[in-house]
């Protein structure tokens, strides 16, 4: 059943912001590749220590790209599972939230709870029955490994579309130039 009223506006705003984040992730990937090429004149990483900045940009870009992609799909399809992204807490585990949430010690965000309710994460860090103990990095890594073929296909489709865009832009440039020469 589709959302109605004000929630429809929230749905489109969530999609819009996730789309912006998706574009930012894509931009980080491109920027990382461009920096790698500018530093070493190749996309191949020979020395990891010399390529740490581009590698960080690419890795962060890929993570943002996929999480925002799931957010866009989840908002568009109104999928609870995709909007909440998979049952995890923190990057490595729930202890990533130590001292990050203000006055109540040992608290985690409510999104870490197994049964999400308002205030369910207050003081619940050590309770494995209340909150997810697995970190989101592990969950996303498993998801990507499980769906690696689709990730590769998506990357190839995006690369193909980008190359086609470049070809069409070059053709248009040639057409514009020859139009000016004829006059």
For residue 134, the enclosing domain spans 87-163
**Residue 183: C-alpha distances to residues 10, 91, 98, 177, 180 (Å):** 52, 62, 71, 10, 5
Q: Do 114 and 142 belong to one domain?
A: yes
Q: Is residue 176 part of a domain?
A: no
**Residue 2: C-alpha distances to residues 13, 78, 168 (Å):** 15, 7, 39
- Name the token pair of 52: 């740490």
CA distance 153 to 9: 32
pLDDT at 4: 59
pLDDT in tens, the chain (183 residues): 455 555 666 667 777 777 888 888 888 888 888 887 887 776 666 666 666 777 777 877 888 787 777 777 766 665 555 555 567 887 788 888 887 766 677 888 777 888 878 788 888 888 888 888 888 788 878 877 887 888 788 778 877 877 877 787 777 777 777 766 555
Q: Do 99 and 144 belong to one domain?
A: yes
**Threshold 0.85, pTM exceeds:** no
pLDDT at 3: 54
Q: Do 77 and 2 belong to one domain?
A: yes
Q: Do 65 and 108 belong to one domain?
A: no
Nearest to 97 by CA among 125, 132, 137, 134: 125
CA distance 39 to 83: 38
Q: Mind giving me the DSSP string for 40-64?
A: HSSSS-S-TTTTHHHHHHHHHHHHH
Q: Do 49 and 124 belong to one domain?
A: no
Cα dihedral sign, 114-144-157-161:
positive
Name the domain boundary from 85, 105, 135.
85
Q: Is residue 138 part of a domain?
A: yes
| Domain count of the fold of the chain | 2
């Amino acid at each position: 059943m589709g959302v109605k009223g004000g929630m429809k506006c929230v749905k489109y705003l969530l999609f819009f912001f996730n789309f912006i984040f998706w574009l930012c992730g894509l931009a980080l990937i491109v920027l990382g590749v461009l920096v790698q090429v500018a530093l070493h004149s190749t996309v191949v990483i020979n020395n990891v220590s010399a390529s740490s900045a581009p590698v960080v940009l690419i890795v962060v870009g890929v993570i943002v790209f996929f999480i925002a992609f799931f957010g866009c799909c989840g908002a568009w399809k109104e999928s609870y599972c995709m909007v909440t992204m998979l049952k995890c807490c923190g990057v490595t585990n729930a202890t990533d939230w130590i001292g990050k949430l203000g006055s109540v010690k040992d608290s985690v965000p409510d999104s870490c709870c197994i049964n999400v309710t308002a205030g369910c994460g207050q003081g619940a860090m050590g309770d494995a029955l209340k909150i997810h103990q697995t970190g989101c990095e592990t969950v996303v890594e498993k998801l990507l490994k499980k769906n690696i073929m689709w990730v590769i296909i998506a990357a190839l489709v995006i690369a193909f579309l980008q190359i086609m865009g470049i070809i069409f832009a070059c053709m248009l440039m040639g057409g514009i130039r020859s139009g000016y020469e004829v006059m």
